[in-house]
Chains A and B, each alone.
Chain A
Amino acid sequence: MQMIWKEAKRYSRIYGRFMKFSVMSQMEYRTNFITAFLIETAYLLIKLLYAILPYQVGTDINGWSPDAILLYVGVFTIMSGLYSGLFFTNFTQLPDKVRTGSLDVLITKPISLQFAVTLRQFELGYTIPNVLGGSVMVAIGWSRMGLPVDFYHIGGFIFFIAIGVLVAYSVFLLPQLLAFWTVQTTGVTDMSNSVFETNYVPMAVYDRIIQRLGTFLLPVFVICNFPPMFVMGGLSAGMVWWAVLAPIWLLIIIRVIWRYALRHYSSASQ
C-alpha cells in the first residue's frame, strides 16, 4: 500500500513537471500560443450557437429544455477543452513517434511508457478558453434551471466529469494504437474527431439504437451526457454503475492492447 502511495506521488510529481514544461515550451512561441488560443475561442462561439438555437426555437428537444441544452453544451465545451488540452496532441503524435523511432529512449526509462507517451504534452491554449467558457455556460444553465447548489450535486457533477475524461482518454487512444501496426493513422484521427463531434448535441437527439451503441459499445455518450443527466436527476442507478465500470473496463482493454502493440514495436532503423 505504501509502495502504491509512493508511486502515485512520484507519478503525480512527474505529471506536474510535464505540465509545467509544456507550458514553458509553449511560452517560447508566444504567437503560436496566442493563435491557438484565438482559434479555440472562435470554436467556442460556434459551440455557443448550439446553445442559443434552442432558445430561439423555444421548444424542448426530446425532453431537453433550452436551459438544459445550455448546461449540456457547457459540459461538452469543458470536455473538448480537457480532451484537446490533456490528450489530443499526445494521441496524434503517437504515430509519428512510432514512425521515427522516438519511442526508443522512452522505452528504456523506468516509468510507464503509456504514461510518458500519452500524457507528456499539455496544451494550455486549448484548455483555458473551453474550460472557462464551458463553466460559465454550465453555471448559467444550472441556476436558470434552479438546480440545487450543494455538495451532492456539485461533487457528483465533478465526479462524472472525471469519468468522462477517463472514458475520452480510452475511447480516443484506442484507434491511435493502430499506429503500431499501420504507422499512419490520419484517417483514424479524422474518424475519431467526427465521433467526438457526435457529442455536440445530447444523445437524446439520436435514434435509440445509436444511443445504446454510444453508451455501451463505444461509450462516447458517457463523456458528455452523464454529468448533466446526473444533476438533472435523469441517470438511473444502473447507468451510475455503468459509468463507474466503463472507464475501468476500457482502461484494461487499452492496457492489454498497449502491451501487445509494444511487442510488435519495430523501432526505426536509425
Chain B
Amino acid sequence: MQKEAVIDLSFDIEEGEIVGFLGPNGAGKTTTLKMLSGILHPSDGQASVLGYTPWERKKEFKRQFSIVMGQKNQLWWDLPASDSFELNKLIYDLDDTEYKRTLDELVELLGVSEQLHVQVRRLSLGERMKMELIASLLHRPKVILLDEPTIGLDIISQSKIRQFFKTYNKTYNTTILLTSHYMRDIEDLCSRTMIINHGQLVYDGDLKSVNDVIGSWKLLKIQLSAPVSELSLNGYGKIRSRSELEVVFELSKQDVLRKSKEILDHLPVIDFTIEDIPLEEGIAILYEKGGLPHAQ
C-alpha cells in the first residue's frame, strides 16, 4: 500500500540556521528528514543539501552531514561506546589527532567521560543518547538532522542536550534541522519554525507568532477525590471537558498560575497537570484565525 507522506513541500535553509520542524505525529517530519539524508528516495521532486542530491548517496555528501534519530541506534549494544567511536573513526577515515581532539571536546561538552568505557546496554537512556550524539558528530558534520533527539529523556537530559546544540551551533556555525513534538526544544533552539501537517508546509516563520496562538493557552487537568457540583466549577475559566472525577480547564497563560492556585485551594484535587494545547489543535486554531502571516 502506498501512502503519500509528503506532498509539495518547499523550503530553503541558510548555513548556520537552526530550524525547527514542528508537526503532529504522522505529519511527514521524519519522512522529510529521511529524504534529506538520502535514506528514502522520493517518488518525485528535488532536494539539494550542501549542493548534493541526498538520495544519490555520494560519499562526499555523507562525510559532511549527520542524522540522529532518537529511536534508532548505531552503537554496538554490548560494547563500550568508545569502541563504536573507534569504528566510526575508521569509517569516516578521520585523522588521529583531529579525532582525539573532537572526541575530547564532545565528551567534555556532554559530560560523559565516566561512561565512556561502560557497555552501552548499561547506560541510562540519556547517557546513551549523548553517546549517539558523539558518534554522529565525530566527523564534524556541516549539516545535522535531528529527529526527536530528546524523545523519552528526562527534563534535565533534555535541557542539557538543547544547551549542547546551542553551543555547538554557535561555535561551528553548523546548520541544524530539528524535529520534535516538544515545544520546549523548538522554543529554546530555533530562530525559525516550520510547521508541517499532512505532508504540507502550513507555516514558516518565527516561533513568536505561533506561540502567541498556541502558547497563549494552557490546559489544566485535575482529578477530584469526590464529585463536585457544576456551580463550584464556575468562574475559573473555560471548561473544556468534564467527567465525574476529572475536569479540564482552558486557562490563558497569564492566568494559569493564579487560577490553578485558586482551583487547588477550593476543589478536592488529588492530582493535576498543566499542559500545552496539543499541536494539532494549535494548527487548527492557526488556520481558523487565518493567523498564518508567513505561510507559503
Which positions in A face B, CB cutoff 8 Å?
Answer: 10, 13-14, 17, 21, 24-25, 28-29, 101-111, 263, 265-267, 269-270
Contact between B34 and A104 (Cβ–Cβ < 8 Å)?
yes
Given A17-B90, A21-B87, A101-B72; A107-B57 close (CB under 8 Å): yes
Determine how close the nearest CB of chain B comes to the CB of A166; give it in whole angstroms. Answer: 24
Question: Among B37-45, B156-164, B186-194, B251-259, which stretch is in contact with chain A?
Answer: B37-45
Is B59 a contact of A21 with CB atoms below 8 Å?
A: no
Query: What is the distance, in angstroms, from A216's C-beta to the closest C-beta of chain B?
Result: 34
Interface residues of B in 53-105 (CB under 8 A from A): 57, 59, 62-63, 65-67, 69, 71-74, 76-79, 83, 86-87, 90-93
Residues of B with C-beta under 8 A to A267 = 34, 39-40
- Find residues 22-52 in chain B having any chain A CB closer than 8 Å to their own CB: 26, 30, 34, 37-41
Determine chain B's interface SS by DSSP, over half rule. Answer: loop
Interface size on B, residues (CB 8 A): 32
Give chain A nearest CB distance to B2 CB in angstroms.
9
B59, A25: Cβ atoms under 8 Å? no
Known: A102-B72, A104-B72, A108-B38. A270 touches B30 (CB 8 A): yes
Partner among B83, B91, B119 whose Cβ is within 8 Å of the Cβ of A109:
B91
In the assembled complex, how far is the CB of residue B49 from the closest CB belonging to chain A, in whole angstroms?
11
B165 to chain A, nearest CB (A): 19
Q: How far is the CA of A14 from the CA of B30 in the complex (A)?
A: 30
In the complex the two chains form, is B83's CB within 8 Å of A21's CB? yes
Q: Which residue of B lies closest to A100 (CB)?
A: B72
Closest to B148 in A: A270
A25 touching B79, Cβ below 8 Å: yes
- Find B30's partner among A21, A103, A265, A269 (CB 8 Å cutoff): A269
Ordered nearest first, which 8 A-B pairs have the shortest CB separation?
A25-B78, A110-B62, A105-B74, A28-B78, A110-B59, A111-B91, A104-B39, A14-B90
Measured between beta carbons, the chain A residues less than 8 angstroms from B83 are 21, 24
Residues of chain B contacted by A21 (CB below 8 angstroms): 76, 79, 83, 87
Measured CB to CB, the nearest residue on chain B to A14 is B90
Q: State the Cβ distance, A75 to closest chain B Cβ, in Å.
A: 34
Given contacts A14-B90, A21-B76, A21-B87, contact A105 B67 (CB under 8 A): yes
Do A107 and B72 touch across chains, with their CB atoms under 8 A apart?
no
Contact partner of B90 among A10, A102, A265, CB < 8 A? A10
- A107: chain B residues at CB < 8 Å are 37-39, 57
Can you pick out 9 interface pairs between chain A and chain B where the beta carbons lie within 8 Å of each other?
A14-B87, A14-B90, A21-B83, A104-B39, A107-B39, A110-B62, A110-B63, A110-B93, A269-B30
A25 to B93 Cα, complex, angstroms: 24
A16 (CB) vs chain B CBs: closest residue: B90
Query: Nearest Cβ distance between residue A37 and chain B, in whole angstroms?
Result: 18
Interchain CA distance A261-B60 in the complex, whole Å: 22
With A21-B76, A267-B40, A270-B30 known as contacts, the answer to whether A108 contacts B67 (CB < 8 A) is yes
Per-position binary interface string of chain B over residues 95-122, scored 1 when its CB falls under 8 Å from any chain A CB and 0 otherwise? 0000000000000000000000001000
B92 surroundings in chain A (CB, below 8 A): 109-110
Distance from B33 Cβ to chain A, minimum over Cβ atoms (Å): 10
CB distance from B122 to the nearest CB of A (A): 11
Give the chain A neighbours of B39 by CB distance below 8 A: 103-104, 107-108, 265, 267
- Give which listed residue, A10, A14, A265, A270, contacts B40 with CB less than 8 A: A265
Most chain A CB within 10 A, of B37, B69, B91, is at B91
Instruction: Tell whether A108 pairs with B90 under 8 Å between CB atoms, given A28-B78, A267-B34, A267-B40.
Output: no
Q: Which residues of B lie under 8 Å from residue A24 when comparing CB positions? A: 78-79, 83
CA–CA, A25 and B76, complex, Å: 8
Across the interface, do B93 and A104 meet the contact criterion of CB distance under 8 Å? no
Residue of B nearest to A13 (CB): B90
Task: Give the distance to chain B from A7, nearest Cβ to Cβ, in Å.
Answer: 9
Min distance, Cβ B102 to any Cβ of chain A, angstroms: 16
Closest CB of chain B to A89's CB: distance in Å?
14
A265 CA to B41 CA in the complex, in Å?
Answer: 8
Residues of B within 8 Å of A14, CB to CB, are 87, 90-91
Contact residues in A for B38 (Cβ distance below 8 Å): 107-108
**With contacts A28-B119, A265-B40, A266-B40 known, is A108 near B66, CB below 8 A?**
yes
Q: How far is the CB of A178 from chain B (nearest CB, A)?
A: 19
A109 pairs with B72, CB closer than 8 A: no
A265 to B37, CA, bound (A): 14
Residue of chain A at shortest CB distance from B77: A25
Contacts of A270 in B (CB 8 A): 30, 71
In the complex, are the beta carbons of A108 and B62 less than 8 A apart?
Answer: yes
A58 vs B34: C-alpha distance in the bound complex, in angstroms?
A: 64
Instruction: Give the docked Cα–Cα distance between A103 and B65 (Å).
Output: 17
How far in angstroms is the closest Cβ of chain B from A99? Answer: 13
Interface centre among A29, A103, A105, A107 (most CB of B within 10 A): A105
Question: In the complex, A248 Cα to B232 Cα: how many Å?
Answer: 82
Q: Are B69 and A104 in contact (CB under 8 A)?
A: yes
Looking at A13, A104, A269, the one whose CB has the most chain B CB atoms below 10 A away is: A104
Query: Which residues on A sit within 8 Å (CB–CB) of B77?
Result: 25
| Distance to closest chain A CB from B21 (angstroms) | 16
Closest residue of chain B to A270, judged by CB? B71
